Structure 1
Amino acid sequence: MTTPDFADLGVTLTEFGGRLRVWSRHATAMDLVLFEGGAEQFSLPMQRSGETWEITTAELRPGRRYALRVDGPEGEQHRFDRFTTSLDPYARHVENIGSASTPRWVAVVVADDKFDWGETPRPNTPMRDTVIYELHVRGYTQLAQFVPEPLRGTYAGLANERVIAHLKNLGVTAVELLPVQAFGNEQHLRQQQLTNYWGYNTLGFFAPHAPYASEAARQAGPEAIAREFKQMVRTFHEAGLEVILDVVYNHTADEHDNAPQVLFRGIDNAVYYRLGENGRLNDVTGCGNSVNTSQPVVQQLVLDSLRYWHEEFGVDGFRFDLAPTLGRDEHHEYHRDHPLLQAIVSDPRLADAKIIAEPWDVGFGGWQTGNFPLGWSEWNDQYRNRVRRFWVSSFAQARITGHHREGVGKLATALAGSSNRFADERGPVASINFVTAHDGFTMQDLVSYNTKHNLLNGELGRDGSNDNHSYNFGYEGDTTDEQTLFLRRLAVRNLFGTLLISAGVPMITAGDEFGRTQRGNNNPYNQDNELSWVHWDWNEQARERINHVRLLLKIRAEHPVLRPTNYNHGRELSDHSTALEWFDALGETMPEWEWNSPQTRSVQYLASMKLAEGVDRLLILVHGVNDPAPFRLPNIDGIAEYRLLWDSAVDDVQHLHTDSMAIATPGQRMHVTGPSMRVYAVRHRAITGNTAPIQLP
């Protein structure tokens, strides 16, 4: 894909000074503008060679601020303005030399700075073993009293040993950071004196977001900011944890047609952005503009940026915001074989990077869950909705009508790895399973609010999804009613239980494991305050929830049967896929007609996987109604007993050891309270010669 025109764009330091290369097809003149402090000092003309503009000068030295002034033709598709400057798209550091309300962004030349990565290799956790924990760099430690105050909300604060200890203790394997590429605040937020907290408004695709660095690093300069970021990554790697970045290549901080130019608009609007036939922006992102990835120069920029973060900063993977935009052609139509989508997963320099799509945007044909190429994994919103409906909103329906909305069939498909959505060649690991994410209710709010409460966002409650599949279980928001609180705790444990035993790759949202709330706000993208920050003052219920999540992740780690890489559409045992046998509540083979009957919300399934040392087997019980019901465990040849590993009906997991039904026999009858889930390990009879690897909590 690389052509000479696209080689070495941005600033490269040479013995003759800095060499700056910028690509623009339609520009007629381009100047390098140099700054001293916050004021323009002078400008130098750049020379054109083909479609690339270049200059080498001793003035481009480390620490020098610079920008571009570009002139070109008029016309509806062009936005050239020779009186305004633009950022270098390949800038390694960006600064605002204007004000908060009227920013003026400039790039800064960064020195080549070798970093000691030590002897610890990348974790390179296989996808089947990965557990993702999505967090916000600033919000995660801003209220963490155990982090030294100067480091709270910073890269260095995130690398704090107690943060690492919590993540390791929980059992996650990777952190997914909300955007850390340099970003700015949108025009409408500046007018409201609010900020873009989440960071989906990119200014620099090669620059770490400077405000997330400690004050000491910011004072020391761009090289120190980069070192702090790299030290954070090194610390995570030393703990065996991977770092995944949420990256935004679908749009930029240039915003809409009438917004001030910042980045591509002033360099070559007609090439870098998607335009309609009228020359106006064709926005498929809902953010004001859409980057035109049908253009080779844009494809190259994305690849160059990914390589830079992977190689220079040690990042282990990427989650692509609004990824269908990247796969749209010159007619703005999505294609799974788009050159950029294929190049990302076939690039040898990104061969060991995890590649994850948010598989939807707001354009025509924008919902593409399950339709990305081999090598991509995807956020599975269908999984999210199915799990929420079964354990949460269906109970609201039952309270109103006396009947549940749906049976167990769709939940069963989700538990088994969503083979209805992903092709066999991709397998369950293509599915990033999640119940909550940064965008939407927290898990606590999902079971505490019927509707969103977003007035603080300043959009009169119009923002945020209205389709949340949530239920407050009797009271909106905070309550002291014990029965309501019990039902909420139970619902959360069932949600976590489903998430962490499902085939696929689970993703947990930061703070869900101890009950973080946003007071019903399901879109706090502009709330950089205690509403969004993570609170670390845990009560007893929070600790109990953490222990449930820890135990579930321990079971997941110890039982490969929960982590298949292939689908199994039959009963033949394999070391890469999980064979599933389904039973009704009375231990009989599940009849076909019961799968989608709202009257049938109880099911058992035996999950089996062949291992070198035998067979790994678990029995999972799902009871999806409030009333207790009789269950009879499946009577299967060769199974001697079932040993209880986890039960969502138990508040304190320590009580599992004293449960009178902790060991049960095939065919045994029991009453199961609901709604709840159970996980049993299987012990085989000695005559089979196969003993499943059972490790008790």
Structure 2
Amino acid sequence: MAYDDQKFEAYLDKMDMVTVLVPKSYYNGEVNSLCLMRGDQSLSLTLKDKKVLHEAIKYEYYCPMKVEIGEEYRVVEERGAKADLKIGAVIRTPEFDDAFFYNESDLGVSFTTQHIQVKVWAPTATDVKVKLINPETLNNEYISMTRLTKGVWTAACGLEKEGYYYTFEVTVNGVTREAVDPYAIAASVNSKYGVLVNLKRTKQSPVQKAPLPNPTDAIIYEVHIRDFTIHPSSNVSNKGTYAGFTRASTESGVSTGLAYLKELGITHVELLPVNDFDGVDELNPFDAYNWGYNPLLFNVPEGSYSLNPTNPVARILELKELIQTVHENDLRVILDVVYNHVYIREESSFEKIVPGYFFRHDEFGMPSNGTGVGNDFASERKMARKFIVDSVLFWVKEYDVDGFRFDLMGILDIETMNTIRQKLFEYDSSILLFGEGWDLNTPLSSEEKATIYNSDKVPNIGFFNDRFRDFIKGSTFNIYDKGFICGNTHRIDEVKQVVAGSVSYQKGEKYLFTQPTSSINYVESHDNHTLWDKLSKCNSHEEKRILQKRQKLASAMVLLAQGIPFLHAGQEFYRTKKGVENSYRSPDSINQFDWEQRKIYKEDIKWLQAVIQLRKAHGAFRFHTTERIRKHMKFLEAVPEVVAYSLVNVEEYGPWKDIIVAFNQDTSTRYINLPPGNWHVVIDGENVYQYPFTKVLSGKTAVPAVGVLALFKT
């Protein structure tokens, strides 16, 4: 530890405890008495503990007076040496959290008829100023902020300042740092400044949406704004942008763009992060690529997708228009959000404004790194939790989004996720909430983490089901590991359970979830290898058409299993990333949605559309309670290569009384014995049948090689 010219250092580590570090170079580190001074007032401190360290001696003193955080104090030792009392570990104590929790909804910028108000939470600051920058001349002016209760600072300026850039200059522990408002809703190019924008000028007319009675009625399709239209064959203008995303084209009967999504039959479009992120220069957006998991400003749309990133209002309008247009096409929008970390902790507004508060630290006081990117957001702290809750409410109320996918949700705590659910469901009970419930090494007890193993503690929030993923296709981390669709028959019981929603479909059975609404069923996403790239490796001995059948089989299992189906964009036409496992910053040539493939495999896409329509046609594929699954779902006897189930007496949920679905992963035809009666065929391998369903089967029936059989009777 370097002490420079200071005689010693003093920190407030608890509301009633001062920690003093005296280097051994100063009288061997020995001090006999200390007092705390505020102005002319002086109070002796009482020694509690003393520890000899390598280069210093650490003293802990009891402080009998209440330290007013935000005021300046000095610690003085008997020889007259002085040190400023700095804010230390007190900031991470429950007492601090309780004392400074601010529960109003006016942080950031708000417009009244008379002025523009700016508020920031900075309880440890001794001084805060608003820096206003004229966007035309770049001249600066400063407004001193007034401290209110709970550590909130406020200032106001005239309405003529609308459009001005702004930052905060915050002084903590004698150091002044400049920071962008974490609650900023608009930003200058590349996030240098927040911008005073009146969002009333960007209001859109709401679109009436079709009802979504239950989460299991959703069919989620994950896509990246830039990927979706950047390919030359997308046949849309403004490729790779918000504006381009909503364009549509139909040439020779082949749709692209938004028309394609609507035609596919999905219900929800999940957008990889669209809030402001680092990794792409907004002035030269096509010089680099990024998925968007480097969050900077959480309530500002990313500028690299805008037609005019230098115009702070343009990106807001473009994203709002995208969402509105998607709604007009009878689809809903989910945002992929990254509240578990920031891009660089030391450079984040959170750390500059309230150092040490918003991020977790280990027992030694070092920042934790469960996320793997250098910081973990401390969602369990009241103002950190408030920020996340405020942010998701902002996106719902201001942008009319329909759901959230939480990146690394297991880093967040259960109380935060339940608070989000409660607040959002009060506003709109059809909002979808789900995330990655991986158990990561962060300083939060296992009982507090929003992990997949605690799913019963966070009802009505879904989890990416890694068991479904790995039992169906094989390990996502071992490209050569084979699951059911690749030819593995060793875990048939586990395959049956994930097809049944990963619930206890028979009393006494093991289960992952208490309800099927917790299970997000998927076999590929933006992360890791695409399914096609995995199949090409682990089943490289098979011809291309067999591999394609295996991929179709996997997609059908996603769509016809109980739970919530999740598809990765391009999964329907064998999307490849040319073997790249982690393409988060790979070029467009790797990440682009290949519209040529869409044209080549249009018949395979029609087949997937039929499977989607089958799921939507009958509520028995979409049970939202374990009770209904137990009552109606039964597995049929079959060879290990076949998983077959029946849905019996389900006429109250749709047009058919009984349904049978069989999945065969073998390259040979296999057989099942149908229950008595004549069964109408909906899907038989790659053949799809529609009303009036003239093909009928009974008795011993063939399940096509590497294929699906779907039947019903009325």
Q: Give the TM-score band, short-chain normalised.
A: 0.7 to 0.9
Tell whether 2:578 aligns with 1:519. Answer: yes
The alignment covers a number of residue pairs equal to 586
**Aligned equivalents of 2:476, 2:412: Cα separation in 1:** 34
Give the CA deviation at 1:538: 3.0
Tell whether 2:118 aligns with 1:20. Answer: yes
Q: 1:130 aligns with which of 218, 221, 225?
A: 218
**Aligned equivalents of 1:283, 1:619: Cα separation in 2:** 48
Give the CA deviation at 1:225: 2.1
Tell whether 2:361 aligns with 1:275. Answer: yes
Tell whether 2:696 aligns with 1:663. Answer: yes
List per-residue Cα deviations over 1:228-250 (Å, max 9, x = no partner): 21111111111110001011111
Tell whether 2:160 aligns with 1:160. Answer: no
Letter in 2 for 1:642: W
Which residue in 2 is equivalent to 1:563? 622
The answer to whether the Cα contact below 8 Å between 2:437 and 2:464 also exists between their aligned partners in 1 is yes
Tell whether 2:640 aligns with 1:600. Answer: yes
**Aligned equivalents of 2:200, 2:126: Cα separation in 1:** 35
Letter in 2 for 1:442: T
**Aligned equivalents of 1:61, 1:301: Cα separation in 2:** 26
Tell whether 2:263 aligns with 1:169. Answer: yes
The answer to whether the Cα contact below 8 Å between 1:620 and 1:678 also exists between their aligned partners in 2 is yes
Which residue in 2 is equivalent to 1:575? none
Which residue in 2 is equivalent to 1:633? 673
- CA separation of 1:673/1:611 partners in 2, compared to 1, >3 Å: closer, same or farther? closer
Give the greater-gyration-radius structure (CA).
2
- CA separation of 1:554/1:517 partners in 2, compared to 1, >3 Å: closer, same or farther? same
The 5-angstrom pairing of residues 611-690 of structure 1 reads: 611-612=651-652, 615-629=656-670, 631-636=671-676, 639=677, 641-648=678-685, 650=686, 653=687, 662-665=695-698, 667=699, 669-682=700-713
**Aligned equivalents of 1:45, 1:616: Cα separation in 2:** 72
Give the CA deviation at 1:516: 1.8
The answer to whether the Cα contact below 8 Å between 1:33 and 1:40 also exists between their aligned partners in 2 is no
Q: CA RMSD in A?
A: 3.3
List per-residue Cα deviations over 1:489-532 (Å, max 9, x = no partner): 11111101111101111111111112221001121111242210
The answer to whether the Cα contact below 8 Å between 1:561 and 1:616 also exists between their aligned partners in 2 is no
- CA separation of 1:124/1:147 partners in 2, compared to 1, >3 Å: closer, same or farther? farther
Report the more deviating stretch, 206-215 or 672-681: 672-681
Which residue in 1 is equivalent to 2:569? 510
Q: 1:387 aligns with which of 472, 475, 490?
A: 472
The answer to whether the Cα contact below 8 Å between 1:282 and 1:289 also exists between their aligned partners in 2 is yes
Extract unaligned runs of 5+ from structure 2: 1-97, 250-256, 505-510
**Aligned equivalents of 2:156, 2:316: Cα separation in 1:** 25
Which residue in 2 is equivalent to 1:241? 331
Give the CA deviation at 1:672: 4.2
SS class of match (1:199)? coil
**Aligned equivalents of 1:60, 1:363: Cα separation in 2:** 49
The answer to whether the Cα contact below 8 Å between 1:30 and 1:45 also exists between their aligned partners in 2 is yes
Q: 1:354 aligns with which of 414, 432, 453?
A: 432
**Aligned equivalents of 2:572, 2:482: Cα separation in 1:** 27
**Aligned equivalents of 1:391, 1:197: Cα separation in 2:** 22
- CA separation of 1:609/1:159 partners in 2, compared to 1, >3 Å: closer, same or farther? farther
Q: 1:490 aligns with which of 542, 549, 555?
A: 549
Which residue in 1 is equivalent to 2:184? 91
List per-residue Cα deviations over 1:9-35 (Å, max 9, x = no partner): 001123443211110221222221222
List per-residue Cα deviations over 1:626-684 (Å, max 9, x = no partner): 3444x242233xx3x12221133x3xx36x69xx994211x2x34545333211122xx
Q: 1:441 aligns with which of 526, 529, 538?
A: 529
The answer to whether the Cα contact below 8 Å between 1:254 and 1:263 also exists between their aligned partners in 2 is no
Greater share of strand: 2
- CA separation of 1:528/1:14 partners in 2, compared to 1, >3 Å: closer, same or farther? farther
**Aligned equivalents of 2:273, 2:666: Cα separation in 1:** 40
Identify the structure with bigger relative contact order (alpha carbons < 8 Å, sequence gap 6+).
1
The answer to whether the Cα contact below 8 Å between 1:17 and 1:59 also exists between their aligned partners in 2 is yes
- CA separation of 1:185/1:164 partners in 2, compared to 1, >3 Å: closer, same or farther? closer
- CA separation of 1:130/1:370 partners in 2, compared to 1, >3 Å: closer, same or farther? farther
The answer to whether the Cα contact below 8 Å between 1:60 and 1:109 also exists between their aligned partners in 2 is no
**Aligned equivalents of 2:222, 2:140: Cα separation in 1:** 43
**Aligned equivalents of 1:530, 1:123: Cα separation in 2:** 37
**Aligned equivalents of 2:320, 2:351: Cα separation in 1:** 31
Which residue in 2 is equivalent to 1:454? none
SS class of match (1:551)? helix
- CA separation of 1:551/1:500 partners in 2, compared to 1, >3 Å: closer, same or farther? same
Which residue in 1 is equivalent to 2:146? 47
**Aligned equivalents of 1:604, 1:527: Cα separation in 2:** 40
Which residue in 2 is equivalent to 1:72? 172
Extract unaligned runs of 5+ from structure 1: 75-80, 98-103, 188-192, 328-335, 450-470, 475-482, 573-578, 586-598, 683-691, 693-697
Give the CA deviation at 1:541: 5.1
Give the CA deviation at 1:199: 0.6
Report the more deviating stretch, 177-186 or 599-608: 599-608
Q: 1:534 aligns with which of 585, 590, 593?
A: 593
**Aligned equivalents of 1:382, 1:514: Cα separation in 2:** 24
Which residue in 2 is equivalent to 1:345? 422
The answer to whether the Cα contact below 8 Å between 1:91 and 1:107 also exists between their aligned partners in 2 is yes
**Aligned equivalents of 2:591, 2:483: Cα separation in 1:** 32
The answer to whether the Cα contact below 8 Å between 1:392 and 1:491 also exists between their aligned partners in 2 is no
List per-residue Cα deviations over 1:364-414 (Å, max 9, x = no partner): 557822523112122211111111139999997699xx9946142111111
Name the TM-score, length of structure 1 as normaliser.
Answer: 0.77
**Aligned equivalents of 1:392, 1:605: Cα separation in 2:** 29
**Aligned equivalents of 1:175, 1:540: Cα separation in 2:** 21
